[in-house]
Amino acid sequence: MLKLLQLNRLLLPIVASVSASVQGAPDVEFNGFITQGYTHTSDNSFYGDSESGSWDFREVAGNASWRLTDRLLLTGQLMSRRAGEVDDGDLTVDYGLLDYRVYEGRRGSFGISVGRIKNPFGFYNKTRDVAFTRPSAVLPQSLYFDKARNLELSSDGFRLYGRYLFDHGILESELVIGEPRKDLNVEYAYLNNNWDGFFHDSSGHLWRTEYSVSDYSFVVAATVGGFKLDFDGPENPDPFTGEPGDGRVEIDLTALSMQYNWKRWSLTGEYFQQDIAWGSLGGAYALIPESTTESFYLQLDHRLTSDVTLFLRRDMLYLDKDDRDGSRTAALFGKPAHTQFAFDWTLGLGWKPNKNWLLRAEWHKVEGTGWLAAQENPNDQEKVEDWDMLMLQATYRF
């Protein structure tokens, strides 16, 4: 797979150049956006030192699409993202791919993409990188983990996709197979520490299918898939710290999504289950070799005007559905029980004063600390179970 991906990266500019010379001047489009956020929490840290009020959230991105022919498209995006201790602002490629529409007919179409491809997951993962396409300043953290954003966002590989138009609805399906992105955040998110080791190989697949009625008043989708992350640990792990050795983290996931839209209202709900097996790593992970994360949210949106939207959301997360109150983890590892769950009430407001600007404000009332990043909250004993968060965001697109 790695050799195939390397070959793809070498061929992409060659194919683009040849296609451009054959077809003449292609259609090129450039876009970008800048988002600046402010976060204040009563306790705990989210996007920097938020207890003191943090401006440490910033997204700057530029994307381009190059239509080489009617069926061939080259597109990509560069992103600089600063998010407290989780993202340091380095420039990265969020996605970059060559897409070929193999078939286009009256009833449907079929195509293939190669390169760095956005993972099809839930309603919002493929659009989470752009504030204008998110339903809130921060997505429900029970499903769309910001602390492991890159792993969820995109993979290096290929995508098969298709679309079929029925008399009263639209069916869309896509499959992505490739190597998910890995970074230090993945270690913190799935191993809860920066151990003396690293993830060196990985593979994954995601299959998503969506059906919507023709006027999009009702949409339902299902996602299934998983990732395999090989960890290269030290030859002689320290048994007193619970340090892991060589092994593999296996993640299987399922997401069910549903949305109902009528007039000025939208009701959206998503359910997520993630089976994680890490017992092969040994160390502390042998005590609980596998677990199942369960989460869901329900969000009600009301469009007060064409430019102003108000929403209310209930978001719930259990890191282990067989240990919902966290008592087993507390007994085994001495962690506070509230590190194993998080229940979030969110009230938010969005305003688009014109087509280029988006302003958001939202308030979170949270019980539990299950989705906080370990990088920003390294001491479990200092985490506070009941806390509040105010978030403000401004986005300009061009």
Model confidence over 118-130: pLDDT tens digits? 999 999 999 998 8
371-389: pLDDT as tens digits: 999 999 999 999 999 999 9
- Binning pLDDT at 50, 70 and 90, where does residue 240 land? confident
**What's the rounded mean pLDDT across residues 280-287?**
88
3-state SS track over the chain: CHHHHHHHHHHHHHHHHHHHHHHCCCEEEEEEEEEEEEEEECCCCCCCCHHHCEEEEEEEEEEEEEECCCCEEEEEEEEEEEECCCEEEEEEEEEEEEEEEEEECCCEEEEEEEEEEECCCCCCHHHCCCHHHCCCCCCCCCCCCHHHHHHHHEEEEEEEEEEEECCCEEEEEEEEEEEECCCHHHHHHHHCCCCCCEEEEEEEEEEEEEEEECCCCEEEEEEEEEEEEEEECCCCCCCCCCCCCCEEEEEEEEEEEEEEEECCEEEEEEEEEEEEECHHHCHHHHCCCEEEEEEEEEEEEEECCCCEEEEEEEEEEECCCCCCCCHHHHHHHCCCHHHHEEEEEEEEEEEEEECCEEEEEEEEEEEECCCCCCCCCCCHHHCCCEEEEEEEEEEEEC
Among 23-32, 137-146, 267-276, the minimum mean pLDDT is found in 23-32
* Residue 8: pLDDT over 90: no
* Residue 295: pLDDT over 80: yes
**What's the rounded mean pLDDT across residues 128-141?**
93
- pLDDT, mean over the chain: 91
List the structure tokens of 276: 């994680």
**What's the rounded mean pLDDT across residues 188-207?**
91
* Residue 250: pLDDT over 80: yes
At position 290, the amino acid (one-letter code) is: E
The contacts of residue 75 (CB under 8 Å, 6+ apart) are 63, 64, 65, 66, 95, 96, 97, 99
The contacts of residue 99 (CB under 8 Å, 6+ apart) are 72, 73, 74, 75, 111, 112, 113
**What's the rounded mean pLDDT across residues 47-64?**
97
Q: Select the more confidently predicted residue: 19 or 117.
A: 117
* Residue 25: pLDDT over 80: no
- Binning pLDDT at 50, 70 and 90, where does residue 287 land? confident
**What's the rounded mean pLDDT across residues 153-167?**
96
Give the CATH superfamily of 30-397.
Porin (2.40.160.10)
pLDDT of residue 239: 79
pLDDT of residue 242: 85
98-112: pLDDT as tens digits: 999 999 999 999 999
pLDDT of residue 26: 60
**What's the rounded mean pLDDT across residues 356-367?**
98
